[in-house]
Structure 1
Amino acid sequence: MEQVHLPSLREAVAVYARIGCLSFGGPAGQIALMHRELVEERCWVSEDDYLAALNFCHLLPGPEAQQLATWIGWRLHGTIGGIAAGTLFVIPGALVMLALSLLYAFAADLAWFEALFLGIKAAVFAIVVQALLRIAGRALDTGFKRALALTAFIALAVLALPFPLVILLAGLAGAVVAAMHPQWLALKPAPSGALPLAGRPWRASLKAILIWGAAWALPFVAIFLTLGTDHVLWDIATFFSQLAVVTFGGAYAVLAYMAQEAVGTLGWLRPGEMADGLGLAETTPGPLILVTQFVGFLAGFRFPEPLSPMAGGLLGAIVTLWVTFAPCFLWIFALAPWIERLRRSRKLAGALSAITASIVGVIANLALWFALHVLFARLDEVRIGRVAALVPEWASLDWRAALLSVAALVLVFALRWNLFAVLGTLGAGGLLLGSLA
């Protein structure tokens, strides 16, 4: 039997801050870091509880690593511990991302800055392709899952269906298949053992929903009373609140949808800038979904009236962070008491498995979207009825971007360089080729 040690709140907060500052490498690296710090070295959480909580966090929308940190804090010290762990996981990366967003906003029109990000875009494209292949290898272990991934790709890239609808339909299909043909999803048996004898924690869940639902709504109230519903901050709060509900599969899964909306529908970003934001997010600690902060900052910075650009950008970043992560606390505090019951739901497991499979198609659409916007200066939309596709103008091919993209793929797949080495090398390559243009 594992011996679990309960730390003091002060001791735990110091470790949470350390994890927040060192949590580079995406969710896999962050989950491994927390396992080493909290399970192996300090024995604050048992191996079984850690794995059960990790599986539970995979069921939820939002960044699973941040939610796992929140659950650990809640498990050790209740709500105050969960708030401390979840917040400290985000704050270091958010501060770095804010500084980088400021630099980007003021320097984006400089030639050297554009050349630098030409290389970073190429590196991000290779990183997305790597994520696609890694997730596909893990998630697509049956023919039905491969069909789901292909269907999701066609739905987004060809039929232009909304991303939330694709995720919803995949989840419904998974729940139905889990009940009728669970082998199509390769579902594992439910955990053995009886359910806990404790009653269902309705009161704790309802209290968490009311408190954190009110916290989630707070920016809406403040914006409504001061600037009204026509201001960009209201649009930021609304858009990223919607995104917080459908971010299954991590940041990569929603980036193409976010970019298409922020560029095409809302006009906050220029084509290609989402790749710039992802490149910045890859270099910071904390969850990759902090790329939303970059988008929110630029939206507020560029459309601030009657505020100044600086005030608009700062408020846009704060509102984005709030509505992105307040829901994460709501999910954990409302559902964590139900963790054992949720783990035993076959239909829920089927829905999650199907959503994970469809995410592969979603990320494939993102890789295609990035490739087109990185390599070509101009794209045309060809539409036949409901079917639509982006077709590049071949004369607008950027040979520098193509050369850097090939180099990035070689560094990632052939030489297996780490993330920071690839970003640094491609950034330098972009500066070099930019000076030759």
Structure 2
Amino acid sequence: MTEIRLQVETSATSAPHSVRFWQAFTFWLKLGLISFGGPAGQISIMHQELVENRRWISERRFLHALNYCMLLPGPEAQQLATYIGWLMHGTWGGVVAGTLFILPSLLILIALSCIYFAFGETQLVAGLFFGIKPAVTAIVVQAAHRIGTRALKNNWLWGIAMASFTAIFAANLPFPLIVLFAAMTGYIGGRFAPHHFKNGGGHEQADKNYGPSLIDDDTPTPEHARFRWPRLLQVALVGAALWLVPMGLLVFICGWSHTLPQMGWFFTKAALLTFGGAYAVLPYVYQGAVAQFGWLTSTQMMDGLALGETTPGPLIIVVAFVGFAGGYVKTIFGSDALFLGGVVAAIVVTWFTFLPSFLFILAGGPFVESTRNDLNFTAPLTAITAAVVGVILNLALFFGYHVLWPNGFGASIDWASGLIMLGAVIALFKFKCNVIHVIVACASMGFILKFSVL
């Protein structure tokens, strides 16, 4: 395995001289088990552990990688873990880091999905989810606030965020188009007002120094991370095979119109055509899975998001719940194997959703490493990060509408849900409570309120 080594120093402030592959393996496994709180919380955990505490990577190198991952479609926190793992230990380092970020949450969510479909109609579970849904809405609002405070450091970036919100909320423009406009704005702004579009968008931590790092600002790019056309072709061919072989087998065994190939194709498009991480992709998944294919209901989609919030790992792992629901509801293996159908569908959906994320890092990482000090590259990424804030705010309003007016604006507001949501907002913003604690408290409150009116 490729291993980065620096000269051993005796100072207490020296960088770690090496990180063995299995030492990194242990950390990535731990991260996969404790990474709660959505992408904002997960990125914060990685920053604290990798930049501040362990000093495996410097602040600027971390932010440069993060901005690239924010540009990509897919879960930026998982891609960031893959990127850092790849930078430290090559291809297998990236594969291990990215896989361990996903695997614990996938197994947990499959187990929760089995419980949900076995007991979801009971009054106990219904009462718990009545309180969890408003909590999820408050969590999305908090995510918009947290990312916004880190990314929107000047009026230019605030303007981009407001424009992206208006574009997706009022004009219903597709998010790829919003990303394109943001990137163009960042490129032009980087040329004419570069101080507003520096790496990290003027991130106040960009100039902080936590001491020497294993991968420091001036550490040369390791040999395996240098751009080479033959290696890019190799990654592209392997990636194509990893997509074509499973899809070909599904079509051969089931037929193209079967639920499993359709899931594989739909979530491949979701992985390639949606940007901004989980919060931006969810409206697209909702539209396709609920309205187009009928794999689950809107209520189940909200419940699935709540379950996703209670598991570690990337929030977009909620697609595993969507797959489980589709395999279960469509009885893909017959009525005697409902849960087997759900498990297989969840695995298929997860494979096709996350495969592109690995390929984007392994193929694009060498190019990104060569552009660390190129403002023409970093300025568009800074603008895209700002645009994502507006999209997340739109998603918060989307969820808030379904929670407060479950029967539409024509019906009366659900005051009980509104009360729970207000309590969750106060707990998250004023008292800085842990996300899991808020979900548990809201579930308990929902149970009490639900059964007090029965």
- Provide the TM-score with structure 2 as the length reference: 0.83
> 1:240 Cα shift?
1.6
Q: Give the one of 267, 270, 295 matched to 1:243.
A: 270
Letter in 2 for 1:394: A
CA contact (8 A) 1:241 1:324 kept: yes
Write out per-residue CA displacement over residues 345-384 of structure 1, whole angstroms, 9 at most, x where no aligned residue. Answer: 43432322222222122112111111111112322xxxxx
Segments of structure 1 that go 5 or more residues without pairing to the other structure are: 380-391
Which shows bigger deviation, 316-325 or 60-69?
60-69
1:324 corresponding residue in structure 2: 353
User: Is 2:28 the counterpart of 1:16?
Assistant: yes
**8 A Cα contact 2:70 2:385, kept in partner:** no
Percent identical residues: 42
The question of 1:88 aligning with 2:88 is answered: no
- Contact 2:71–2:384 (CA under 8 A) maintained in structure 1: no
What is the TM-score with the length of structure 1 in the denominator?
0.86
Q: Could you list the per-position Cα deviations for residues 132-181 of structure 1 after superposition, in whole angstroms to 9, with x for gaps in the alignment?
A: 22222333334443333233223322333333333333333433443455
SS at match of 1:394: coil
Contact 1:66 1:89 (8 Å CA) reproduced: yes
Between 1:34-43 and 1:306-315, the stretch displaced more is 34-43
CA-CA distance at 1:322 after TM superposition = 0.8
The answer to whether the Cα contact below 8 Å between 1:216 and 1:327 also exists between their aligned partners in 2 is no
Alignment partner of 1:229: what SS?
coil
Alignment of 1:110-149 (within 5 A): 110-149=122-161
SS of 2:132's partner is helix
Residue 122 of structure 1: CA displacement? 0.8
Is 1:255 equivalent to 2:291 in the alignment? no
* Closer, same or farther: CA 136–39 of 1 in aligned 2, 3 Å: closer
CA apart distance, 1:50: 4.3
After superposition, the Cα gap between the structure-2 partners of 1:41 and 1:147, relative to the gap in structure 1 and judged at 3 Å, is: closer
1:346 aligns with 2:375: yes
Q: Does 1:371 align with 2:400?
A: yes
Task: Please name the residue that 2:6 is paired with.
Answer: none
Q: 1:413 to 1:176 in 2, by over 3 A?
A: same
Which of 315-324 and 22-31 deviates more? 22-31
Residue 409 (structure 1) aligns with: 425
AA at the equivalent of 1:75: L
* Whole-angstrom CA distance in 2 between matches of 1:48 and 1:136: 19
Distance 1:360 1:302, change over 3 A: same
Of 411, 415, 426, the residue aligned with 1:394 is 411
Matched residue pairs, number? 424
The equivalent residue for 1:61 is 73
Q: Distance in 2 between matches of 1:47 and 1:414?
A: 28
Shift of 1:337: 2.0
Q: Secondary structure at the match of 1:159?
A: coil
Change over 3 Å in CA distance of 1:183–1:33 after alignment to 2: closer
Is 1:157 aligned to residue 177 of structure 2?
no
Deviation at residue 242 of structure 1 after TM alignment:
1.8
Structure-2 separation of matches of 1:262 and 1:197: 42
1:27 equivalent in structure 2: 39
Matches within 5 A, 1:153-192: 153-182=165-194, 185=197
Q: 1:45 to 1:165 in 2, by over 3 A?
A: closer
Deviation (angstroms), 1:43: 5.7
Distance change (3 Å), C-alpha of 1:80 and 1:165: same
Q: Distance in 1 between matches of 2:184 and 2:247?
A: 31
Report which stretch shifted further, 245-254 or 223-232.
245-254
| Structure 1 contact 212–330 (Cα < 8 Å) conserved | yes
Is 1:355 aligned with 2:384? yes
Alignment match, 2:214: none
Letter in 2 for 1:128: V
- 1:184 CA drift (Å): 5.8
The answer as to whether partners of 1:4 and 1:45 remain within 8 angstroms in 2 is no
What's the Cα RMSD here? Answer: 3.0
Amino acid across the alignment from 2:151: A
Change (3 A) 1:372 1:28: closer
Shift of 1:220: 1.8
Q: 1:180 to 1:332 in 2, by over 3 A?
A: same
Given the alignment of the two structures, is residue 228 of structure 1 paired with residue 252 of structure 2, yes or no? no
Alpha-carbon distance, 1:216 to partner: 3.0
